[in-house]
A and B are shown apart, each in its own frame.
Chain A
Amino acid sequence: MKKLLITLSVVLALLGVYVIVVGFSPYGESDVEGEIGVRVIDASGQAVIDDTLPFHEDDTVFDVLNRHYDLTLTTYSSVAGRALLGIDSVITDFANDFLYITLHHPVWEDGEIVDYDIEAAQSGIDGLPLRDGLIIVFTVTTVGGGSP
């Protein structure tokens, strides 16, 4: 009985911490509405997905992707948050290939995008920023093949 009570107490306490951390973590949430571009390039170099998706206030990149595509996810110690293995029919296994993420940050001038700053993502999808005009490119990359 004592063991059961301790189990319930610990699980409820950690569940509470989980809800607080997930619910109130501001990381990645957008303050505004806008649109992002999503491109998925398969192993042959073909763009199989090239969409522009709207997002709302308080959305995250994960929310937007999850609304429009079937996502295959897992976790690995080397990736903070969830690791994205696949989008719709483009599936990787993280052992032989993976989705290399690049972010194309828009450079705005007078309300128009004039250029993009391209950088490799430094985190998994849970850590990606959500900004108007951003293009996120997922490229299937073979392990050992280096950057695409």
Chain B
Amino acid sequence: MNVKRLILIAMCTTVLFVQEQMLMIVPNVQFTTLLIVLYASMFRFRETVAIVVVYVLLDNMFMSSFHPLYTPPMFIGWLTIPVMYHTLLRKTKREMTLAFFGLFFGFYYGWVFIPFRMIEQGVGVFWNYLILDIPFEIIMAVSNFLTILWLYRPLYETLSDEMTRLESENGYVADRR
């Protein structure tokens, strides 16, 4: 990996972290899913995994929220995006498919925490958590759907142009399929 690419990945991680902190005042409205989907389609699998790992570690450090029952579901939840992108989604660039994936992910991300809450607070918390979290999962699902559907394509084209320009000297060409 060359230095330019390493810097680009670091900058993308910074954007991911900063936008989440800036949008924290609006419950469950964020560009995190859009950006991780975008990065999954721009970078190699291991590079996207590195971005997600650094982002989750940074987020937990900043929020003082490292916890054996809180940090692991965050890793599982966010790492699902690159895993799904490279398997079930077959590296698609279709914004409609990705938008519906984002919609599903809004619910899935909330459900990932349920088993960990059950370990912490008992099996009885299952229905409580499931019902109470649905409104917030819907907000995240709508946010994911709208941002991916309307912003994925322009962001992808801009970023891939920049990457091609940045790395053309090294023979790198962004995948524009």
Contacts and interface: CB of A to CB of B under 8 A. Distances in A.
Interface string A69-113: 000011101101110000000000011100000000000000000
Contacts of A25: 131
A95 B109 CA distance: 21
Interface stretch (A10-18, A32-40, A48-56): A10-18
Nearest to B122: A122
A127 B149 CA distance: 34
Which range contains the number of A residues in contact with the other chain? 20 to 34
A6 B96 contact: yes
Contacts of B110: 77
Given A21-B131, A124-B132, 10 more contacts: A6-B96, A11-B146, A27-B131, A27-B132, A77-B73, A77-B110, A80-B133, A95-B62, A95-B63, A123-B125
A75 B138 contact: no
Contacts of A7: 145-146, 149-150
Contacts of A18: 135, 138-139
A75 B70 contact: no
Given A6-B96, A75-B28, A143-B64, A14 B125 contact: no
A42 interface: no
B65 A74 contact: no
A78 B27 contact: no
Interface in B67-100: 67, 70, 73-74, 96
A14 B70 contact: no
A22 interface: yes
21 contacts: A7-B145, A7-B146, A10-B103, A10-B142, A11-B146, A14-B103, A17-B134, A18-B135, A21-B138, A25-B131, A73-B27, A74-B25, A74-B27, A77-B110, A77-B113, A78-B67, A81-B132, A81-B133, A94-B63, A122-B128, A127-B128
A10 B145 contact: yes
A59 interface: no
Given A77-B110, A80-B117, A143-B64, A22 B135 contact: yes
A78 B70 contact: yes
Nearest to A78: B70
Contacts of A3: 96, 149-150
Interface string A110-148: 000000000000111011000000000000000100000
Contacts of A22: 135
A21 B129 CA distance: 13
Contacts of B113: 77-78
B1 to A, nearest CB: 32
Nearest to B110: A77
A41 B117 CA distance: 27
A96 B28 CA distance: 21
B6 interface: no
Nearest to B106: A14
Contacts of B25: 74
B158 interface: no
Nearest to B121: A122
